[in-house]
Each structure stands twice: as structure tokens, then as C-alpha cells.
Amino acid sequence: MIDKLYFRGKCEEVFVSPCCLVHQPILERDFPRAKEILESLKGCRGDITDLTAKLHCTPKGIRLVIIDYAGLSTCPRDIRKFLKTYENVHEIAIDHGWWFEIFSRQELLETKALQKFKCREKYVQRSRTPI
């Protein structure tokens, strides 16, 4: 998934939340930090704590690229809070596998586009380990 974000999503940096649930508030994820998991992930720049630190210190506009709607959160209210906290997030791009859907900050805050993120109640199995 990290490689997919770098190569297909053209991301400069990739941050992951290795130990969280999609309905868990974004700004409360990754406590305690899973340092061992993060260190084992090649190309990973950190977790949500590192992402929010970067967002806090970066004055330029940011485009977040996520895999699937639930890659960020399944709670529209939580995404709204995240966008209001970090005003430099100008766009969110969702990788649907065959195409990207891009939402501007204004579109997410001013229309019903956030309701698309309320998309599932349980997690999706991403991969399987061969037996």
C-alpha cells in the first residue's frame, strides 16, 4: 500500500496508522505509538502524529491521498473537524483502484461530499498471508 501511494498516487511522503479502527477519531489515533511496526515499513514517514506535526508546521497547501474512503475515516464529522483544524489541507484524493476522485476542501466542508466517507461498518481485508 505504501508503494501504491508513492508510485500511483505520486505522494512525496506516506504516513500510516497501523493500529487503529476506521471509526476512531483521526486526531486520537496511534496511541500508544507502534514504533516497531513503523520502523519495519519501508518508505513510511511515520504515523498520524507525524502527519499532524507536518501539517502544523507546513505553510503550503497539502493534498492528502488515501486508498478508499475509509483510508482516512468513516466518520464525516471527524473529517470535518480534521479539515477545520488543518486549514492547509486543500484537497483529498481517493484512490479507487481504477481512478482517483478528488475533493477540494471547500467541496468537503460546504456540500454533502463528506457523506461518501460514511461507507462501511467493518474493515476490509486488504491482503492475506500465504499459509
Domain residue ranges in the chain? 2-117
Q: Would the pTM of this model clear 0.75, i.e. be above it?
A: yes
Q: What is the pLDDT of residue 6?
A: 85
Quickly count: other Cβ atoms within 10 Å of residue 94's Cβ.
21
- Write down the pLDDT at residue 81: 94
For residue 33, CA distances in Å to 41, 43, 56, 116 come to: 14, 17, 19, 29
Question: In sequence order, which ranges of the chain are alpha helices (DSSP H)?
Answer: 2-7, 35-40, 48-57, 76-85, 105-110
Torsion of CA 11, 14, 17, 23, to 10 degrees: -10
Taking alpha carbons only, the member of 129, 131, 127 closest to residue 2 is: 127
Residue 124 is predicted with a pLDDT of 53
- Please say whether the beta carbons of 12 and 48 come within 8 A: no
- Residues of the chain where predicted confidence (pLDDT) is lower than 50: none
Query: Residue 86 and residue 73: Cα distance in Å, rounded?
Result: 15
The predicted pLDDT at position 88 comes to 95
